[in-house]
């Protein structure tokens, strides 16, 4: 091809390229203008909400959970009066970089739609304000309770006992596990540990998974299990064990055992002398594996049941730290949800022990004219508010009238030095057997016998209950009776 032909082709292509170049420059110019416009708008506007982070399960099960509102700017400090939450609840606000962090000192209500708005939010670099809002809905964890079959009549076989799963906010109920002669149970996350009574009146222990499949767990021998408890997240189950009279092998009398679910092996807890520890009562600290147990001589012991050997639990014998004495008290009453406080009592009074601080504070019952008043049972609330945290609990109060011999029972909420009755029996014949508090402090599960004059026992050798044992679910804030079920030992998952 000649030079002249090439030049002619280039001259023919140039007119065709000019519109393309013009369009390209127009596009680039438009993008530049748009970018400058966006930058200008961004500089002139306030911070924008870019993401919301909240665990809707954790906020109803534990105190001090957080809602994090992230923005596109570094922020000037946001104060509590800039935040509105509906329904109203206690909260604290901190500002961290580009985020507004809202903390809830107490768990939130179940099955509730929350609306959160923040106004007057200002960027640190540009003095422009904005407001934003978000919404989230909380969940409700399942609870379990034990419903025993009616005693058999004549030669008829007794029906199966059932552990039922439900929620306070719904009447829907499903069977988590069914078998003959269930003595007691305890939830372990999505699983259950279940004690049953054999034909020889000795006990068996099972691990039940979420679909109801049962696996036998190894007991120290033939005998009786008492006070079954679990440490969630630690793969540990504990119980007191007493050998049957004719059992072979080592003999135990209310000895505290810890069963490691990883190995299916039970190990006796050692006392201060290294011998198997016999206890009257015991329990895991909340959200921890640590144990507080009471010896026969009333000495309270703090015990770490975690294997300290560092070896493979399937190959090595566990090595445990020696227990730590906490003092002598007549009763171990309750464990606080914070995992560091317990309630104890002796003949001189009732006390809260803070094991993290080594402090002791008295629980002072209010006097009632003409009666002798005492606290029969106590349960700590999950939330706290600074210095008054140790005063937040529900107690079962009994008032004895020496003139008539009558005993009046009721449940009283103590918070910030003030008391309020949250449940009283519907009739003089109703008896409060016990109670539990939901993890978010919203409901009481009150176990009652409706009529003690007509009460009949179900005849179990251990943990016997009235055949009409009933559990009432009461709103702590309002005293409203939300629901009742025929059964007992209500426990939240």
DSSP string spanning 416-453?
A: TTEEEEEE--SSTT-EEEEEEE-TTS-EEEEEEES-GG
What pLDDT does residue 127 have?
82
DSSP run (H or E) holding 38:
helix 3-44
Q: What is the CA radius of gyration of the chain?
A: 32
What pLDDT does residue 151 have?
81
What pLDDT does residue 313 have?
63
| Edge-first strand listing for the sheet containing 143-147 | 170-179, 161-167, 143-147, 488-492
**Rounded Cα gap, residues 248 and 242, in angstroms:** 12
- What averages of pLDDT result for each successive group of 10 residues across the chain (493 residues)? 51 56 65 54 74 95 94 94 96 95 95 96 88 95 95 76 96 96 95 96 96 96 96 91 92 96 94 95 93 96 83 66 92 91 87 90 62 71 57 85 82 87 93 95 96 93 95 96 97 91
284 and 239 Cβ atoms separated by less than 8 Å: no
468 and 485 Cβ atoms separated by less than 8 Å: no
What pLDDT does residue 155 have?
58
**Rounded Cα gap, residues 350 and 199, in angstroms:** 42
Count, in order, helices (H) and strands (E) of the chain: 1, 35
- The C-alpha angle with vertex 463 and arms to 424 and 329, in degrees rounded to 5, equals 75
Positive/negative CA dihedral, 343, 344, 350, 355:
negative
363 and 343 Cβ atoms separated by less than 8 Å: yes
What b/e string do you get for 434-463 counting C-beta neighbours within 10 Å, with b at 16 or more? bbbbbbbbbbbbbbbbbeeeeeeebebeeb
**Rounded Cα gap, residues 233 and 189, in angstroms:** 8
| pTM (predicted TM-score) | 0.85
Minimal CA–CA distance to 304: which of 219, 236, 232? Answer: 236
Helix, strand, or coil (residue 8):
helix
């Amino acid at each position: 091809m000649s030079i002249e032909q090439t030049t002619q082709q280039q001259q023919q292509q140039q007119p065709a390229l000019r519109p393309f170049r013009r369009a390209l420059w127009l596009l680039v110019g438009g993008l530049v203008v748009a970018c400058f416009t966006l930058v200008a708008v961004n500089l002139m506007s306030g911070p924008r909400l870019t993401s919301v982070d909240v665990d809707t399960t954790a906020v109803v099960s534990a105190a001090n959970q957080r809602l994090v509102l992230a923005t596109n700017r570094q922020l000037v400090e946001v104060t509590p009066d800039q935040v509105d939450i509906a329904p109203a609840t206690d909260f604290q606000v901190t500002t961290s970089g580009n985020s507004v962090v809202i903390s809830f000192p107490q768990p939130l209500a179940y099955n509730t739609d929350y609306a959160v708005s923040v106004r007057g939010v200002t960027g640190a670099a540009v003095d422009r304000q904005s407001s934003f809002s978000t919404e989230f809905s909380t969940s409700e964890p399942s609870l379990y309770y034990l419903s025993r079959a009616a005693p058999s009549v004549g030669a008829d076989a007794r029906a199966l006992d059932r552990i039922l799963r439900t929620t306070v906010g719904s009447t829907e109920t499903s069977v988590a596990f069914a078998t003959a002669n269930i003595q007691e149970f305890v939830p372990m996350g999505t699983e259950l540990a279940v004690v049953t009574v054999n034909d020889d009146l000795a006990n068996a222990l099972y691990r039940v998974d979420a679909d109801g499949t049962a696996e036998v767990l190894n007991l120290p021998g033939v005998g009786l299990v008492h006070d079954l408890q679990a440490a969630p997240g630690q793969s540990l189950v504990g119980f007191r064990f007493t050998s049957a009279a004719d059992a072979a092998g080592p003999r135990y009398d209310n000895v505290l055992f810890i069963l490691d679910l990883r190995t299916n092996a039970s190990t006796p807890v050692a006392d201060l002398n290294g011998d198997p520890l016999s206890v009257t009562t015991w329990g895991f600290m909340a959200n921890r594996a640590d144990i507080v147990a009471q010896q026969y001589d009333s000495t309270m012991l703090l015990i770490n049941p975690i294997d300290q050997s560092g070896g493979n639990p399937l190959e090595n014998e566990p090595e445990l730290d020696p227990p730590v004495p906490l003092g002598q008290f007549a009763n171990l009453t309750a464990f606080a949800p914070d995992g560091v406080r317990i309630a104890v009592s002796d003949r001189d009074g009732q006390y809260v022990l803070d094991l993290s601080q080594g402090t002791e504070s008295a629980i002072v019952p209010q006097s009632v004219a003409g009666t002798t008043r005492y606290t029969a049972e106590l349960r700590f609330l999950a939330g706290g508010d600074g210095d008054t945290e140790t005063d937040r609990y529900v107690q079962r109060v009994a008032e004895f009238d020496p003139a008539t011999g009558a005993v009046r029972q009721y449940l009283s909420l103590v918070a910030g030095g003030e008391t309020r009755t949250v449940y009283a029996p519907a009739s003089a014949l109703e008896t409060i057997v016990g109670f539990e508090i939901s993890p978010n402090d919203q409901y009481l599960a009150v176990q009652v016998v409706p009529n003690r004059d007509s009460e009949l026992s179900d005849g179990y050798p251990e943990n016997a209950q009235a055949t009409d044992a009933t559990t009432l679910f009461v709103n702590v804030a309002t005293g409203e009776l939300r629901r009742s079920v025929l059964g007992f030992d209500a426990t939240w998952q």
